Structure formats: structure tokens, C-alpha cells
Amino acid sequence: MAQSALIVIDVQNDFCPGGALGVADGAAILPVVNRMIAQAGHVVLTQDWHPSGHSSFASSHAGKAPFETVAMAYGDQTLWPDHCIQGTPGAAFHPALDWTRAELVIRKGFRPAIDSYSAFYENDHATPTGLAGYLRERGITDLTLCGLATDYCVAFSALDAVREGFAVTVAMDACRAIDLGGSLATMTQRMQDAGVRLV
């Protein structure tokens, strides 16, 4: 029998309304996510965990504003408002998230010079977080993803999970998007093309 796990992506204060990078309607997913956690056999959480002055912050680039793009060694990087800084209330999980059943918390984005959307790889698509190995060692083959934001950390995690050989479902009603310049449609299509099941 296939072993399955729920991966809850970045349900943190800074990504919810009122946060530094609040996703519209982001907190509305919490009741659905909590039900999914209660029913899941295995639960893994991811947590954006940036040091101050992270290279993905617009404030680290003179004359640049949030949501502009710059070229980094690993490719184009969208610049963000300062968010999810290690140890701050903004980086904490949303207080309504019932996360006590989580077996693992993967922190990402902690390397100052590179951003990390995916639960599996940094944005260079080469530096692993270790999640794939952990899941394989546990015998887990099927993943369901939910969380914030659909078109960034959820989508990049789903694409990398497929690339790593997992069967992947994204629970769209338990996600919300930033939708920057049509990014939701673009990433939804990329997920579908890669064989991600969207429900």
C-alpha cells in the first residue's frame, strides 16, 4: 500500500493578511488545512526562515522595490518585502494552525545568498533541503500539498516532488496565491503539464 504524507507549506504569520507579505485570503485556508492535518497519516511542515538582510529582500538592493526582478547567479529573482525573519513573530506559524502532529519541520531560505521556494531545493534547483531523502527513507510515495502561496512555494515544491519521483496532489482549496503578473495561471499550467493532480 502506498504511504502518503501531507506537506503543509509556509502557513506563517507574514504570509497571512496583515503580515509583511500577506497573501489575500491566506488565513481562510486554516480550517481546511487543519482538517487535512487531522486526517493525514504523516504531516510535514515547511517554514520560510530568512536571516536579516537576505538577498531576496528588496531592502538588500539599493534603489530596488518589492516585486521587481534582479539577476542572481542562479537566475532571475523576484525581490520581496522583508519577511519571515528568523525568530520573529512574522516567521512563526499562524496561531490557528494545528500543527502539533507534524513529524518534521523543514526550514528553508536560511542561506543568505539564495532564496528557496521549494520544500525540496533552493532556487538554484541543485541544493537539496533533504526532504526527498527523508520521505524515501520513511517509505512515503504519495504527497498532498497545501498552503501558501499556490503560485510560488506550493507550485515549486510540487514540481520538484514530481521530479523526485513522488505522486503529487495539490489541494487547491487549501492554498491561496500571490498572483504576481499572471503567475497563478502560469504555475497552474506548469503543474498540470508536469503531472501534478490538482483537486
Q: How far apart are CA 40 and CA 86, in angstroms?
A: 28
DSSP bridge pairs for 140: 3
**Strand 69-72 versus strand 75-78 pairing type:** antiparallel
Which residue is catalytic, options 16, 146, 153, 175? Answer: 153
Q: Which cell numbers in the block locate residue 9?
A: 507549506
Helix (H) / strand (E) containing 45: strand 43-48
Annotated active-site residue 108? The verdict is yes
Q: How far apart are CA 71 and CA 57, in angstroms?
A: 13
Which residue is catalytic, options 48, 84, 108, 160? Answer: 108
Q: At what angle do helices 183-194 and 155-163 cross, to 10 degrees?
A: 20
Instruction: Specify whether the CB–CB gap between 17 and 148 falls below 8 A.
Output: no
Q: How far apart are CA 173 and CA 124, in angstroms?
A: 29
Annotated active-site residue 10? The verdict is yes
Q: How far apart are CA 110 and CA 78, in angstroms?
A: 17
Annotated active-site residue 16? The verdict is no
Q: How far apart are CA 199 and CA 135, in angstroms?
A: 22
Q: Which cell numbers in the block locate residue 17?
A: 493578511
| Residues taking part in catalysis | 10, 108, 153
